[in-house]
Structures are given as C-alpha cells and as structure tokens.
Structure 1
Amino acid sequence: MNNSRIPGWWLGLSGLAGLLVLWWLGVKVFGEADGLSARFSLAATASSLWELLGRSELYLHIAVSLKRIFVGLFLALLVGVPLGLLVGSSRNLEAATTPAFQFLRMISPLSWMPIVVMLMGVGDQPIYFLLAFAAVWPIMLNTAAGVRQLDPRWLQLSKSLSATRWETLRRVVIPGVVGHVLTGVRLAIGILWIVLVPCEMLGVSAGLGYYILDTRDRLAYSELMAMVVVIGLLGFALDAFARWVHQRWVHGG
C-alpha cells in the first residue's frame, strides 16, 4: 500500500486554484459578457492589479493601514496582557469580571463607530480605539488561560526559593504564558484586519478602506476588486507571519 502523502503546499495551491475557478465561473454563469459583471472578472481584476502594483499611492495606503494595525495591536497588548495576568491569577477576580467582559466582548466594535466619532471626531484616534477594542479580548482571554495552565510545581519552586512576586512574574509567569499571548495575537490580527476596512471609512484620507470607497466613487470596479485581492493577500501574509512567530516560540527555534 502506498503511504505517500501529497505535500501540504500543493494541496494549498490546489485550493487557491479552485477558488479562482469558482470566481471565473461565477462571473461567467451569472453575469453578462458586456455587462457590469465583466468589470469584476478575473482577467479585468488581474489587469487592474498589475497596474495598481506600479503605483506608489498603493504602497502609501498599505503603509497607513499597517501602521493603524500595529498601533491598535500595541494598545491591545498594553491592556490585554496585564488584565489577563490579573484575571488568570485570581479566581475571585475572574468570577467578578467575566460577566462584564463577556458582555463587552459580544458587542461588535463597529457598533461603537457613531459614538466614538462623536467623542473623538474623525481621523486616526477613533480607528485606534476601535481596533484596540476589537483586539483586546482574544489577547486577554488567551493570557488568562495561559496563567491558569501554568505548572503549579514551577510556582511552588519559585516560592520555595523565596522569590518575590515580581521575580515570579518575570521569570516564571511571563515566559510561561508567551505562547498563549502569541495565540491571542494571531487571533487578534485576524479580527483587526476584518475591522480595519470599515473603520477606514470614517472620513480619513488614506488607507485601504478609504481606497475601496475611492474606487467605488470613481466607478473603477475592476480596480475595486483588485483592492479586495490586495487586502486578502496582506491579511494572509500577516497571519502567516504571526503563525511563524508562534511556531518558532513553541518549538524553540
């Protein structure tokens, strides 16, 4: 019996090829050859994408969006990791805060958009708040889970060696939860990338979300589809990078 396996990268490419075939079929079957749907075709999108890649303005919008992602993620880490350490280390605090946190977590970040704009105005500040609000929950929950799963023998050893709370936190707790924090970061990046585009429709003048609206207003539909592809590729790359960092940490190099 042949136990040879098909390489994973080949299966992945096959899945992407199947997605492209479905795209082509969707336009071919449900659209008209000379109608509006032709602007969303695979060929028209590829042509616009090639043209976009030669424009410097595309890279400006990408840089602005990535900056917002990293600022939002940084703010979420500043809040989520300390909260996760506190909640994970105290059952009473966990019981007291879980209902409130679960209530807030279930509110879509986009629901806050009108309120945040009224309070902060338009620009980067409301985007940073919404992104941080979206990203803080997976980071906090995974950090708390990491604290609860720490080997109690390590904590007992730290106590027997008369380590202070700060030394225990720095040498035992934080190294023990980094893998969980990285898992939370990966989940947060996926959420951030989804929330980013509608957030960038809040009256800003740069970013991928803004550029999507700009292409729509100019009726440049093939260019719009090309931007959708760019957003997907960038999100895929961010997730792959986060997964690589997590695997490097977990497997020790």
Structure 2
Amino acid sequence: MPARAALGVLGLAAIVALWWLAVAALARHNALAAQFGPLAAWQALPDLISEDRLLAHICASLRRIGVGLACAIALGVPLGFVIGRIKAIEAALSPALQFLRMISPLSWMPIAVMSLGVGDPPVYFLLAFAAIWPIVMSTAAGVQHIDTRWVQLGESLAATHAEMIWHVYVPGIAAHVLTGVRLAVGVLWIVLVPAEMLGVSSGLGYLILDTRDRLAYPELVAVVLVIGALGFMIDYAARSLYHRFGAQPTQD
C-alpha cells in the first residue's frame, strides 16, 4: 500500500526531526548532548562497520536468536500440544507454568552464569526461557480451538495417531503456532541485548557495553539504531511468514 508506506515514512521522519530538535536544544547547555544526535550517529556508522566489525556482531546476535528460538519451538510446541490435548495435564501444569512465565528471564542471569559458565550457553538458556511461553500458550490454544468435527472425522476413518497429527492437528494449530513464534521473536529481541552482557565477546549487546566503555557515544547511538532496524525487519519477516502460512482464508 503506497499510501500506508508513505505515512510510515512521514512518521519516521517526524520522529527523527523531533530527536534532532531535542538534541539541538540540549546541546546549548551541554556540549556532550550533541554526540547523541542523529547526524553524529550517521557519521559514526562507517567506522562502526569497518573498525568494530558491526556485521560480525550482527551475525553473532542473529545466531543466538536462531538457537534460542529453535530450542523454544522444539520444547514449546510438544508441551503446548500435550497441555491443549489432555485436560488433566493442563490442570496439573498450568499453575506452575503461569508462575514460571511471570518471572523475568533476566532474573535467571546469575543462576545461568553460575550453572553454565560464561559465553553462549547462558545466553541460549535465557533466550529459550523467554521465548518458550508464548509458543506453549499459543500452541495449547490452537489445539483447544480445533474443530472437533475434523477430529471425529479422522477417528471415524480409523486414522493413525501420526495421520491425525499430520493431517488434522498440524494444519489446525499452524496459525496459532506462528502467532506464538512472532510473539516469541519480539520477546527474544528485547531480551537479547542484556543477555549478551554476560561475558560474551561479540553481539550487539556486547557492542553497546564496548562503545559505552570507550565513551564513543555516537557509535552507541548508531548501535541502538541498528538494533531497532534489525528488530523491525525480523518482525516484518515473522509477520510475512504468518500471512503466508498461518493466516486462515476468508470465506464469502
């Protein structure tokens, strides 16, 4: 939609203009504020790419996102399926899962480091822990909302368990699972930056700390903008995936 895209561009331009005006006003009383402006961030971006190996840090962060999401899907979809399918298990596990879901993933940071050491393993754990809950809940909701007539039809045709799962449950819960994945991706991207402050030597979170320690404030702002841009693109990809494979066709 060209009109919608044009409005989006205008909105972003307005935010940048307000940002520039705010920094310009603050810079009159504090010279340091000028380093946080959009122009300074844009000028720092080439050095950030060449000297600080920005692309390598982006790849490290995306790898961790991929591993964390894959672990969350591998654990969350089967767990959500069982919870949605068997009422007794839902009643037994729901209080514990709701309790764990309400604990901030960042609260586990000290325990993760003490248990798994420094490096990637605790980051993977925190990301998987953060992403698993929307996937579990969406999958369980999808199983519970499957049309019982399809289940009865499969059973009347003497379908095996594998056939029921593949031909009835998988198509029936696909939209819900993809919704959970999209929500999980948003949570992952938020948790990623503080999680990458756990003794790793690469990633966008590490780069935030590095630019802060070097007092390279224009580069710090540039990294923040890169994080926002990448998050936007990842969410766009997740939405496109949902509309491609998960959206239900409308019936006239």
User: Identity rate of aligned residues, in percent?
Assistant: 56
2:137 alignment partner in structure 1: 141
3-state SS of 1:202 partner = coil
Counterpart CA distance in 2 for 1:32 and 1:184 is: 47
Cα distance between partner residues in 1 of 2:171 and 2:82? 16
Find the counterpart in structure 1 of residue 198 from structure 2: 202
CA offset at residue 49 of structure 1?
Answer: 1.9
Aligned position for 2:110: 114
Partner of 1:224: 220
> Equivalent residue of 1:115, what SS?
helix
Which one of the candidate residues 42, 47, 52 is aligned to 2:43? Answer: 47
Aligned with 1:8 (options 4, 7, 16): 4
Query: What's the CA shift string for 1:26-81, capped at 9, x where partnerless?
Result: 21233337611110011101111243344571111000100000000000001100
Letter in 2 for 1:123: G
Where in structure 2 are there 5+ consecutive unaligned residues? Answer: none
Q: What is the TM-score normalised by the length of structure 2?
A: 0.94
In structure 2, what is the equivalent of residue 74 of structure 1? 70
Cα distance in 1 for partners of 2:37, 2:231 equals 22
Do structure 1's residue 193 and structure 2's residue 193 form an aligned pair? no
**Equivalent-residue separation in structure 2 for 1:31 and 1:85 (angstroms):** 56
Following TM superposition, where does structure 1 have runs of at least 4 consecutive aligned residues deviating by more than 4 angstroms? none
Residue 165 in structure 1 maps to residue 161 in structure 2: yes
Aligned equivalents of 2:48 and 2:112: distance in 1?
33
Say which SS state the counterpart of residue 206 (structure 1) adopts. coil
Give per-residue Cα distances to partners, 1:155-209, cap 9 Å, x unaligned. 0100000112222012110121111111111110110001000111111111111
What residue identity is the alignment partner of 1:83? L
Aligned CA RMSD, in angstroms, stands at 1.7
Do the aligned residues in 1 keep the contact of 2:79 with 2:136 (CA within 8 Å)?
yes
2:169 is the counterpart of 1:179: no
Do the aligned partners of 2:65 and 2:189 also contact (CA within 8 Å) in 1? yes
Q: Choose which of 20, 26, 47 in structure 1 pairs with 2:16.
A: 20
What one-letter code is carried by the residue in structure 2 that aligns with 1:9? A
Structure 1 portions without partners, runs of 5+: none
On the 8 A contact 2:175/2:247 being kept in 1, the answer is: no
